[in-house]
Chain A
């Protein structure tokens, strides 16, 4: 099973369990921007009381789940990890948090029709807003690529992006990125 097939299999399993989700991380920025290799598949799932669904019945014996839920001390995120046996791939499921923007990006999620199924993602604007908060090198590169692709492919809602950046204190970071982009028609 390839990594993208594995990601779609987990999305289908969440659908089968009736668990609303969005695919976040590198896969969401790839969908909106320039693709890059991504070693993890990350989901945010809407669940109650950190009760992660048991997806193994849908996924089959080539999968295993880390029996221990983990708590990211840096971010306070509760997550469950699925692993594809005989593969380095990890699928991480994070519980939807109370963070205002986490709630907003989840509520505004968009479903894209892929071959054989629909898959839920945050909007391009929400990926930009989220990545500007974390601002690791790869996040900044993702923001650049999403802006460049989406400005040509559709229309970015700049008032929405700028509104969240003002609330998160990331406006200067956004302006720095915009100034660094190659000259282009706007």
Chain B
């Protein structure tokens, strides 16, 4: 156990800051899309597993429904 380094949430945040500083603004911009695309791939894999007979269109519709539910939880703002 003594090999583990104890880190706080502030330490983790500052590690993320350091990582962001190593990226260009364009890389940071693109990372948001890449993270979203990866999240969608994982979510679609989960939906396919839960509904094995569903077509790709049906799986996509279920994914879109999840985002619609998320929108309902998020108060509308003007971004």
Chain A interface (Cβ within 8 Å of chain B)?
2-7, 24-27, 30-40, 42, 72-77, 86-89, 92, 94, 97, 102, 112, 114-115, 119, 134, 136, 139, 144-145, 148-149, 152-153, 182, 184
Number of interface residues of B (CB under 8 A): 36
Inter-subunit contact A30/B32 (CB<8 Å) = yes
Partner of B31, one of A6, A30, A149: A30
Inter-subunit contact A74/B60 (CB<8 Å) = no
Inter-subunit contact A7/B63 (CB<8 Å) = no
Q: What are the residues of chain A within 8 A of B29 when measuring CB–CB?
A: 4, 7, 27, 30-31, 35, 114, 119
Known: A34-B19, A38-B32, A134-B77. 12 other contacts (CB 8 A): A2-B33, A3-B34, A27-B33, A33-B20, A35-B29, A37-B39, A38-B33, A88-B67, A119-B29, A145-B13, A145-B17, A184-B14
What CA separation (Å) do A28 and B43 show in the bound complex?
A: 25
Chain B interface (Cβ within 8 Å of chain A)?
10-11, 13-14, 16-17, 19-21, 23, 25-26, 28-40, 60, 63-64, 67, 70, 74-79
Decide yes or no: A72 and B34 within 8 Å by CB, A119-B29, A182-B13, A182-B14 being known contacts.
no
